[in-house]
Amino acid sequence: MELEARAATFRLAETFVISRDSTDETESVIAEVTHRGQTGYGEGTPIGRYGEDAASAAEFLNECGELLGDDPFAFDEIHARLPQASNTQAARAALDHALHDLCGKLTGLPVWRLLGLRRGGPPTCWTVWLGDPDDMARRAERAAQRFRRLKLKLGGRDGLDLERVRAVRAVTELPLQVDVNEYWTVDEALEALPQLAGLGVEYCEQPLPEGDEGGAIVKERSPVPIYVDEDCHTLADVAVCAGRAHGINIKLSKSGGIREAIRMAHAARALGLGVMLGCMTESGLAISAGAQIASLCDFVDLDGNLLLLEDPWPGVEFRNGVQLPPDKPGLGVESIVSLSAERSDGRN
Ligand SMILES: [Mg+2]
């Protein structure tokens, strides 16, 4: 097998604001694995705080070509041969997805069929970015026409987080969840969570900083289920998270791809945890990888490609609020040449 990787930049339709950051473009790493004339494609989205960027991810993969061997179905052996370097999760995800895409194309099966899963999962939420309460309500009202649930980004550090939820609740009856992105203290969380329960919020994602000692107390006292995201990366984290959360948010760019994500979903079930599938702002190539396994999850947040000015890898079908994976071999999406297409050097 031959492996090639490159960085790609995608423009967002609007500036994306969460508690720690704002951005108007996003970078991914794209892996291409070729075997007997067939090419599989995969995307991973590096997360800066974990010391990986698109250039380092592409460099890591371009040094791994020799290690792939000649059997695209030998996932365990291929993964075991990769260097055990840290900060390579997005690179590993891109490769894992490219191998799944390739195996699907070689067998003529969509990945969800290859894995024996159902095609459709729960409806995706739409992320309402952090803003002032009126602004979030306006954007929520617009999104409520197309989506069946909303995720509100909180953690404004301005005393207005509950106002944000009230303002949105006043304009829509849709199911709501919130994501604090680690911005509350234990005391703030214990004060806010009962009020969120009163507003009908279904669950709260990552109220506390990763690893915060107060996690167990907040889990015990919260009337709203707690889901952890920044606390939970790979299978090795899931058991620990059971002590501080009612559910986990799996993201393929944290887990290192589909294969580890499935292990995490099953481990979470064994521990009585709920399972959410999240994403980054990324193209349909990565969103398709998530959509293939969405049926394993209780909640799905796969709006990443819908946040782009234009999806350069169309094929995932947004139908009645659900991000449905294509009914085509592999990941089932194809690259298009367009205004936002990658230039020959992989940047735009
Ligand atoms: Mg999150």
Q: How many CB atoms lie within 10 A of CB 70?
A: 8
Residue where a domain terminates, one of 79, 108, 137: 108
One-letter identity of residue 57: A
Query: Domain residues for 293?
Result: 126-324
161 lies in the same domain as 283: yes
In a domain, 70, yes or no: yes
- How close is the Cα of 227 to the center of ligand 1, in Å? 9
Same domain, 283 and 205: yes
- 25 located within any domain: yes
Residue at which a domain ends, from 42, 73, 108: 108
In-domain check, residue 231: yes
pLDDT at 338: 47
Q: Say whether both 80 and 207 belong to one domain.
A: no
- Looking only at the bridges linking them, the beta strands covering 126-128 and 38-44 are unpaired
Q: Give residue 339's pLDDT.
A: 41
Which CATH number belongs to the domain containing residue 78 in this structure?
3.30.390.10
Task: Determine the 3-state secondary structure of 88 from DSSP.
Answer: coil
pLDDT > 90: percent of the chain: 92
Q: How many secondary structure helices (H) and strands (E) does the chain include?
A: 12, 13
Using only the alpha carbons of the chain, give its radius of gyration: 19
Same domain, 69 and 217: no
181 shares its domain with 302 = yes
For residue 249, which phi and psi values (nearest 5 degrees)? Answer: -105, 110
Measure 90 CA to ligand 1 centroid, in angstroms: 16
Q: What is the pLDDT of residue 236?
A: 97
* Residue 14 pLDDT: 84
97 and 171 share one domain: no
Please give the distance, rounded to the nearest whole angstrom, from the Cα atom of residue 230 to the centre of ligand 1. Answer: 7
Residue 304 has pLDDT above 80, yes or no: yes
Q: Is the pLDDT of residue 348 over 50?
A: no
Alpha carbon of 184 to ligand 1 centroid (Å): 13
pLDDT, position 337: 65
Whether residue 113 is contained in a domain is answered as no
User: Is 341 domain-assigned?
Assistant: no
Neighbouring residues of the ion ligand 1, judged by CB less than 5 Å:
179, 205, 229
Q: Residues 131, 278: one domain?
A: yes
Burial 301-331, CB ≥16 within 10 A → b, else e? bbbbbbbbeebbbbbbbbeebbbbbbebbbb
Question: Could you tell me the pTM of the whole model?
Answer: 0.94
The two tokens of residue 273 are 């945890």
Is the same domain home to 204 and 91? no
Report DSSP state, residue 157. Answer: S
Q: Would you state the pLDDT for residue 274?
A: 98
pLDDT at position 18 is 66
Q: Are residues 191 and 258 in the same domain?
A: yes
CATH of the domain at 171: 3.20.20.120
Query: Looking at the domain assignment, is residue 114 inside a domain?
Result: no
Q: Which residue has the tokens 């290859």?
A: 114
Cα 345 to the center of its chain, rounded Å: 26
Ligand 1 centroid to Cα of residue 182, in Å, is 9
Residue 332 lies in a domain: no
In this prediction, residue 85 carries a pLDDT of 87
**For residue 134, what are its two tokens?**
């009126």
Q: How many domains is the chain partitioned into structurally?
A: 2
pLDDT at 20: 66
259 has a pLDDT exceeding 60: yes
CA of 124 to the centre of ligand 1 (A): 14
Whether 337 is in a domain gets the answer no
Q: How far apart are the C-alpha atoms of 271 and 256, rounded to whole Å?
A: 21
Average pLDDT, the chain: 94
| pLDDT confidence of residue 146 | 96
Residue 82 and residue 176 in one domain = no
Looking at the fold, whether 86 and 156 belong to one and the same domain comes out as no
Which phi and psi angles does 208 have, rounded to 5°? -105, 160
Structure confidence at residue 125 as a pLDDT band (50, 70, 90): very high
The verdict on 84 and 135 lying in the same domain is: no
